[in-house]
Amino acid sequence: MISIAQLSSEPWGALNGGDPVRLFTLRNAHGMKVAISDLGATLVSWHAPDRAGRLGDILLGHDTPAEYAAATTYMGGLIGRWANRIADARFTLDGIEYTLDCNEGANLLHGGSVGFHRAMWEVSEDNGSLLMRLESPEGDAGFPGNVTTQVRYTLDDDGTLTIAYEAVTDAATPLNLTSHPYFNLTGRSGADIRGHVLSIDADQFFEVDAAMIPCKLADVAGNAFDFRHSAPIGARLDWPHAQLVQAGGFDHCYVLRDTADGASGAGDVREVACLYDPGSGRELTVSTDQRGLQFYSGNWLKGDAGRGGLAYQAHAGLCLEAGGFPNEVNMPGRQDVIVRAGEMYRQVTAYKVDVRHGI
């Protein structure tokens, strides 16, 4: 039987307006600890052992709540109501056109300029799990319906952090939630992720246009986007490919296998990606019930304020964000991401950190 981590909390500074912020820490029996803030339901740090048993922080992050509130990198934040982009910040639902917050050119990105990642969440404990709850009123970033979201964080002794999402609404609305941690398994400040080895269980990905909106499905076979078998990220970043030039690296949604015809969130939780750092021996596996996985290689980190005064540069960390497809609300079959009154949105994603003892 897998035991549940211990939970503690402590004050963690305040926002510029004076609102107090707290930090909650989950610890398992093997010394692993994950710190989460009530500001943005944010994954702030994750200390995990390497193959020699040395603990290191495998997440990028900031030093203070004020830095998180001001940043535009979404580090560790809980993203809502819509993860990724909505083209032209608009969609039509039940014959009504909704205009949303434009916070990336003409598009909505990650819930708008004041998304879930900048909200203060209510916190409670349930048998060692951390529960976070947020009320999003009708009109939030332009979306219809009042939405209540609950997120459960659970850390097990086998090194698995499970993030279970639930949400209800009183009117039809699009929902696409995710978590946005930047991983660097080296556990070393200043190191990049080019030496990490990645696999993704997907045969197709979405190519993007100049505004980073999906424009067509493409096969991964025979090109830089093929991670069906483990491949080093740095070597793939150096491949000549128009889509890598377009996005400055990887910032693309993969269509996970066996889910192309299924509703988002309707499948079983299964392993969809694996990330490995040969130097430290740390291995991260990603499991989810979602149909899409956004792989972002930290292309647009340009000296952003990091922990301990460090300035994060491009490829200092990477994101593996499970959810629906970018701009899916404007695609055929969009009912998969529409939640109606009386329905429950559910999503489960698990990140497991383990160690390989051989190279």
**Residue 67 pLDDT more than 50?**
yes
69 backbone dihedrals φ, ψ, rounded to 5°? -65, -30
The mean pLDDT value for 74-98 works out to 98
**pLDDT tens string 209-233:** 999 999 999 999 999 999 999 999 9
Q: What is the pLDDT, as a whole number, of residue 1? A: 38
Domains of the chain: 6-355 (2.70.98.10)
Distance separating alpha carbons of residues 302 and 320, to the nearest angstrom = 20
- Is there a binding annotation on residue 240? no
DSSP 43-61: EEEEEEE-TTS-EEE-B--
Instruction: Find the length of the chain.
Output: 359
The mean pLDDT value for 167-195 works out to 97
Q: What is the pLDDT, as a whole number, of residue 5? A: 65
The DSSP element (H or E) to which 70 belongs, if any, is: helix 65-70
Strand partners, 93: 96
Q: What is the pLDDT, as a whole number, of residue 261? A: 43
Give the catalytic positions in this structure.
180, 321
**pLDDT tens string 263-315:** 444 469 999 999 999 999 999 999 999 999 999 999 999 999 999 989 999 99
Strand partners, 216: 207
- Is there a binding annotation on residue 85? yes
- What would the two tokens of residue 309 be? 């005064």
- Is there a binding annotation on residue 20? no
- Is there a binding annotation on residue 268? no
Burial of 222 (0-12, 13-18, 19+ CB in 10 A): exposed
Q: Of all residues in the chain, what percent are helix, strand and coil, respectively (each to 5)?
A: 10, 45, 45
Are 179 and 79 in contact, with CB atoms under 8 Å apart? yes
